[in-house]
Amino acid sequence: MTAKGILNLDIQKGKIDRNVYGHFSEHLGRCIYEGLWVGEDSPIPNTNGIRNDVVEALKQIRVPVLRWPGGCFADEYHWKDGIGSREKRKRMINTHWGGVVENNHFGTHEFMELCRQIGCEPYINGNVGSGTVQEMAEWVEYLTFEGVSPMAELRAENGREEPWKVTYFGVGNENWGCGGNMRPEYYADLYRRYQTYVRNYGGNRIERIACGANSDDYRWTEVLMREAGRFMDALTLHYYTLPRDSWQDKGDATGFDEAEWFSTLRKSLRMDELITRHSAIMDQYDPDARVALIVDEWGTWYNVEPGTNPGFLYQQNTIRDALVASLTFHIFHEHNRRVRMANIAQTVNVLQAVVLTEGDKALLTPTYHVFDMYKVHQDAERLDLQLTSGSYRFGEEEIPAVSGTATRDQEGNVHISLCHLDPHASAETTLSLRGLQDGGSWSGLVLAGDSIDAHNTFEHPERLRPEAFDGFKRQGEELVVTLPPMSVVTLKLSAPAQA
């Protein structure tokens, strides 16, 4: 297996917005409760009720932005139920996710404290499906108004004098489905109305985010851009990768065969087609790309782990998921003009999680390690990389075996990330380095599996982790990299060697 490419170090293709490495946390299963929030009285080490081990893990990968409270939960969430004394907060049944009791102990103040501890920006999703314009307007006032107002006074009564900074506010979620089963024309009018009252107070400036399409619903994008494009700062897109073509039997997270390994990777590549076609529609109404495309739900979705609540969406995470993440980030990079945020679903214990918890234990998944290896690309300049790969074939189908991306960071370091999908053989990848000056040094990291469902467990939490990589060599103006089977590699060329 071989791949060849040209890396033009003197051709820049725009910035990779750090927010494409964003995350999503919903009141779903054990994401919030047990995963992020344990309460001040928990024996699990915590700070203000938020578990320390998970916060430290998320700080390590420089989480830039965190979306909350949903998801489908957002359009049945009434924010006033989650403020004030926790003992007096309303209890409810989480009808979307598992039919469990939601005690609202994790609400606005707790979420903003979580963001403070992580050092990330909040992305709040408002309730259009079952909420009112007044409710949404008052939430924005409660969060961001400084001065004399009913909501500012209520915030102060609840222990917070100063307003928070909130940049990202979603006006509804999946309003074509769980958020109200709306037609695009109806939602476009509702969006225009609701966003009017998502006001900027003082120096706070909010980017208003409209609910976009499910997967390949291009008509939704057409109607939203035509009828409401001038009122939005961003439009969303949701796409999940399923090994099989059935939502009732999606395929398992472990114990799968090569057919499902291949189909998962092939389907993850569909993200490029979706972004390309939705962006083309957006370009008709917004040729300057003022409106961002935000992929605020993406990732793999499998059958839940045996013996767990079906509504909790708890699944294991393998080297296959790491490759899906790598491929997806490469696609986001290629579309950096339009894609300026993405939020993997979900941060802890749900779907393609980066952290899994069990009591006081926490483990880092292979997907986490890709986020860690790729954090060097946040806010870096994309470099022109032209890569041609041999094929990974299975049955009558084939996909490129090697994918890559390259950036230069603010210190002048160049980072090249590559992934190799073939589980059987290594791949020799040769890159011609144009615009390269002498000097500098090379180093690398690799994440590789020894089986197609290799994963970390609480008994063996470090079976998969990045290791130092030396499988590369300079040959004149070329860099030759030998990629192990089913692997992700990031190489660093330290600054002063760039043109």
In angstroms, what is the C-alpha Rg of the chain? 23
CB 496 within 8 A of CB 381: no
Q: Is 174 a catalytic residue?
A: yes
pLDDT digits (tens, 9 = 90+) for 376-395: 999 999 999 999 999 999 99
pLDDT on residue 178:
97
Q: How many CB atoms lie within 10 A of CB 98?
A: 18
Q: Which of 138, 141, 297, 381 is catalytic?
A: 297
Q: Which residues contact 208 (CB under 8 A, 6 or more apart)?
A: 169, 171, 195, 198, 231, 232, 233, 234
Q: Environment class of residue 379 by beta-carbon count within 10 Å: exposed (0-12), middle (13-18) or buried (19+)?
A: middle
Q: Which of 76, 135, 174, 207 is catalytic?
A: 174
Residue of 349, 360, 357 lying closest to 43 (CA atoms): 360
pLDDT digits (tens, 9 = 90+) for 301-311: 999 999 999 99
pLDDT on residue 476:
85
pLDDT on residue 499:
45
Residue 120 CA to residue 179 CA, distance in Å, equals 26
Residue 273 CA to residue 373 CA, distance in Å, equals 26
> Where are the strands (E) in 360-458, listed by range?
361-364, 381-389, 391-394, 397-400, 402-408, 414-420, 427-434, 442-448
pLDDT on residue 496:
67
What one-character DSSP code corresponds to residue 233? S
User: Which helix (H) or strand (E) segment is 477 a member of?
Assistant: none
CB 428 within 8 A of CB 481: yes
The ranges of the chain with pLDDT < 50 are 497-499
pLDDT on residue 437:
73
> Where are the strands (E) in 263-333, listed by range?
292-300
Q: Is 135 a catalytic residue?
A: no
pLDDT on residue 497:
42
